[in-house]
Amino acid sequence: MPLVIFVDDSETALASTRMVTNSLPIEVKQYTEAQVALAEIQAGMTPDLIITDLNMPEMNGFEFLQELRAVPATKRTPTLMLTTENKPELKQQGKALGLTGWIVKPFNPAQLKQAITRVLRLPA
C-alpha cells in the first residue's frame, strides 16, 4: 500500500486531508513539524508521495523540499505543495526545487483526491 505523508502545522488542515484520503487505498502519516517528518525519512521511511504546506514555523515547505532532495531515497519522490499561497514566483521557485505540483487552500477535496490518485497511479 502506498505511503503518503502530509506535513502541515495546522491540525485543521490535517483533519481535512484525513477526510479526503479515508476512502483511498493508501497509508497516511501526518506531521505538524517538518523536522520530525524529515528525521523519519532520514532514518529510512520511504514515502511514495509527500504533501507539504509552505508556511510553517521552524522549517518552511521549500526548506523541507531542499532537505528531501538531499536524501537519496526521496530525491525523486513526488511532492505536492498544499498552501494558501498562489504567487507565480513562489510556484516557479517550487518547480525549480523539484516540486511536482501546487494545490491552493482552501482546497477542493475532489481535486486533492484526483491529484493523489494521478501521482500514485491508483485506479480512479
Q: How many domains does the chain have?
A: 1
pTM over 0.85: yes
DSSP state of 108: P
21-45: pLDDT as tens digits: 999 999 999 999 999 999 999 999 9
Domain of 105 in residue numbering reads as 3-120
- When the pLDDT of each residue in the chain is averaged and rounded to a whole number, the result is 96
**CATH number for 68:** 3.40.50.2300
49-83: pLDDT as tens digits: 999 999 999 999 999 999 999 999 999 999 999 99
SS3 24: coil
- Return the pLDDT at 76: 95
CA 108 – CA 122 distance, rounded (Å): 19
Q: Is 100 exposed, middle or buried (0-12, 13-18, 19+ CB in 10 A)?
A: middle
User: Hey, what's the cell of 21?
Assistant: 484520503
CA 116 – CA 49 distance, rounded (Å): 8
Give residue 123's pLDDT band: very low, low, confident or very high (50, 70, 90). Answer: confident
Packing angle, helices 11-21 and 109-120, rounded to 10: 60
